[in-house]
Structure 1
């Protein structure tokens, strides 16, 4: 809030606050993740099974995620970029697990629609 004076357009306040919240949540997860052990993979076959994703497809996905409202955006980022479990996300967002599950399903549907519409 110390930098509120640097916000040039008041209509972007919600986006600005959402970005601050996401960055704080990600920083907290990074801090806590230092103590978690990395999973040991028996082989790297899982990596070979995935089809390569082009830069254009990644940009389309990132744009679609950016269009999501809070908390849908936070749930998708935490789940798929940081491999968090829905239980952990519910705790982080201080929401019931059932609510996070519903929001997760809705977020995936919205992403699907955004990506199909181009």
Structure 2
């Protein structure tokens, strides 16, 4: 992605962790800044990460921002935050194929065809 690419930052954090979980959002924000991109919106849901995103308002707002052309895709601290359940993953893949949106994390980039096109080492 070229510098200046606009992304929506989305995270789903367990409410039980409170502010301790916020470091993952800050880490994703640094990743965006270091790449020269722009986080145009940030949406954080406080919910169980392994439950469906269907009832998460922030998730729907993140998708809408891309659909409205505000951003080229979504950056998230971990891919599992976008959907752990098979139905959520299937819906995300269909949405991504329809919109051509990019999905990226500090560890991997997934293109609209659903392929992991880059993987970064943890070191």
TM-score by length of 2: 0.26
More strand by share: 2
Would you tell me which structure has more helix in proportion to its own residues? 1
Bigger Rg, structure 1 or 2:
1
